[in-house]
């Protein structure tokens, strides 16, 4: 028994020593790789990374468009520029909602105050509760240690991210390919930040559904309110919008949000159930996104309504 216990201790010491050394070695390697990716990220001008850097560091347009892919694909900045005679840039991001967009706006406001912010609301990403909000922090991670707002948002979503982000490399989790790809490929210029979708959806029957309101996420609601307050403080004209969803004719999905907008005196241009577009598959590239024809039409509608709002206020 004594001999067995002695053997166990010496084996255990050897194991812990080797494992500890390995972990230390790995930590150094990943730290160097993380620093390398930081440098590469700063150099990129093209693709999504380049666009992201432009929005964070250089944007100076008078109209800023924010939202998920339903902003990114839907809003044509040129239409707004022609209608309102103000420069415009599409800052939408795929699969991102208010938890990411609020940081995006705050970053822009550090250098530049736009006149107008148009926010395209997507219920699932901006309002409703989901099982896990961690999906929204992927693009914020590289900035955790450099941007206080990114840090605040990440910490409010997950209490363990700050420990994980002690790993320099972890900040680029899910983004390594984007960083490297941006060094070698030259994606065609975005249309002032927009990436319009081409082609039409191929369906035999239009899906019919009634989108109903679900439970709101308190954290998302908190940042929606902060967005409204920050725009008020900076004298920015804030307008919320919602693009038509294929097949949607009616529902109560925005009832609570619409009431919030009324209380806060923020216009909400709700076209979610706009049957002049929602029942026309030729304007859609898939079930949730308008194609170029649909997005130009929708942009024109919003630009026209916004023009009227601005004129009425003046």
Partner 1 sequence: MVFNSFEFLWLFPIVFCVYYLITSWKVVVRQFPKIGNFFLIAISYGLYIKWKPVYALILLGVTAITYFAALLIEKEKVYGHKRYLIWCGIILAILPLAVFKYYNFLNDTLIALLERVNLEVGLPGLNWVMPLGISFFSFQAVGYLADVYLQRIKAEHDWWNYMLFICFFPQIASGPISKAKDLLPQIKSQRVFRYEQAVQGLKWILWGMFLKVVIADQLGLLVDEVYSNYQHFSGSQCFGRSIMYSFQIYCDFAGYSYMAVGVGELFGFELINNFRRPYLSQSVTEFWHRWHISLSIWLKDYIYIPLGGSRCSVIKNYWNILVTFLISGLWHGANWTFILWGVFHGIFQIIEKHIGINKINSKGILKVCRVLMTFLVVSFLWILFRMPTIHDAFCFVHKIITDFDAHLGLGAYIILFLPVIAKDIIDEFNINSLNFFHHKYAFVRYTTYIVLLLLLVMFGVFDGSHFIYASF
**Contact footprint for partner 1 (CB under 8 A):** 1-2, 4-5, 7-9, 11-12, 14-16, 19, 22, 25-26, 29-30, 33, 131-132, 134-135, 160, 163-164, 167, 169-170, 172-174, 176, 201-203, 207, 286-287
Residues 6 or more apart in contact with residue 145 via CB below 8 angstroms: 151, 165
CA 135 to chain centre: 10
How far is the CA of 289 from the CAs of 139, 160, 169, 301, in angstroms? 22, 34, 34, 16
Reference 274, options 294, 304, 258, 257; nearest CA is 294
Residue with tokens 């898939």: 286
Task: List the end-to-end C-alpha distance of the chain, in Å, as a whole number.
Answer: 91
How far is the CA of 190 from the CAs of 74, 76, 107, 238, in angstroms? 13, 10, 21, 24
CB of 48 vs partner 1, minimal distance in Å:
16
Total residue count of the chain as it appears in this document: 314
Q: Among residues 176 and 275, whose Cβ is nearest to partner 1?
A: 176
CB of 182 vs partner 1, minimal distance in Å:
16
Q: Among residues 43 and 166, whose Cβ is nearest to partner 1?
A: 166
Q: Among residues 143 and 170, whose Cβ is nearest to partner 1?
A: 170
CB of 35 vs partner 1, minimal distance in Å:
14
d(CA 225, CA 227): 5
| Residues 93 and 100 sit within 8 Å (Cβ to Cβ) | yes
CB of 176 vs partner 1, minimal distance in Å:
5
Q: Among residues 270 and 291, whose Cβ is nearest to partner 1?
A: 291
Strands 116-120 and 88-90: unpaired
CB of 37 vs partner 1, minimal distance in Å:
9
Q: Among residues 23 and 275, whose Cβ is nearest to partner 1?
A: 23
Residue 215 DSSP symbol:
P
CB of 127 vs partner 1, minimal distance in Å:
20
d(CA 181, CA 175): 10
| Residues 156 and 148 sit within 8 Å (Cβ to Cβ) | no
| Residues 138 and 93 sit within 8 Å (Cβ to Cβ) | no
CA 172 to chain centre: 17
CB of 30 vs partner 1, minimal distance in Å:
6
Q: Among residues 54 and 143, whose Cβ is nearest to partner 1?
A: 143
Q: Among residues 4 and 188, whose Cβ is nearest to partner 1?
A: 4
Q: Among residues 95 and 237, whose Cβ is nearest to partner 1?
A: 95
d(CA 309, CA 279): 27
CB of 216 vs partner 1, minimal distance in Å:
20
């Amino acid at each position: 028994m004594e001999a067995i216990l002695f053997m166990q201790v010496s084996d255990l010491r050897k194991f812990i020593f080797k494992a500890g050394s390995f972990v230390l070695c790995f930590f150094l390697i990943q730290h160097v790789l993380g620093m390398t990716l930081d440098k590469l990220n700063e150099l990129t001008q093209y693709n999504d990374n380049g666009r992201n850097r432009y929005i964070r560091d250089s944007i100076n347009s008078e109209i800023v468009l924010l939202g998920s892919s339903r902003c990114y694909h839907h809003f044509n900045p040129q239409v707004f520029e022609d209608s309102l005679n103000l420069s415009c840039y599409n800052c939408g991001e795929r699969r991102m909602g208010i938890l990411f967009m609020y940081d995006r706006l705050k970053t822009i406001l550090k250098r530049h105050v736009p006149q107008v912010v148009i926010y395209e609301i997507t219920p699932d990403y901006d309002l409703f509760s989901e099982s896990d909000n961690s999906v929204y922090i992927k693009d914020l991670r590289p900035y955790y240690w450099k941007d206080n707002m990114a840090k605040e948002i990440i910490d409010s979503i997950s209490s363990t991210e700050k420990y994980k982000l002690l790993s320099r490399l972890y900040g680029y989790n899910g983004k390594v390919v984007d960083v490297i790809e941006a060094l070698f490929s030259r994606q065609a210029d975005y249309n002032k930040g927009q990436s319009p979708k081409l082609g039409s959806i191929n369906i035999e029957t239009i899906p019919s559904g009634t989108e109903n309101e679900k439970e709101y996420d308190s954290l998302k609601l908190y940042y929606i309110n902060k967005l409204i307050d920050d725009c008020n403080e900076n004298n920015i004209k804030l307008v919320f919008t919602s693009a038509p969803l294929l097949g949607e004719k009616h529902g109560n999905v925005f009832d609570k949000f619409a009431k919030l907008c009324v209380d806060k005196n923020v216009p909400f241009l709700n076209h979610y159930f706009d049957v002049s577009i929602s029942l026309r598959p030729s304007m859609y590239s898939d079930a949730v996104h308008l194609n170029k024809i649909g997005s130009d039409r929708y942009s024109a509608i919003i630009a026209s309504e916004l023009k009227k709002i601005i004129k009425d206020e003046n």
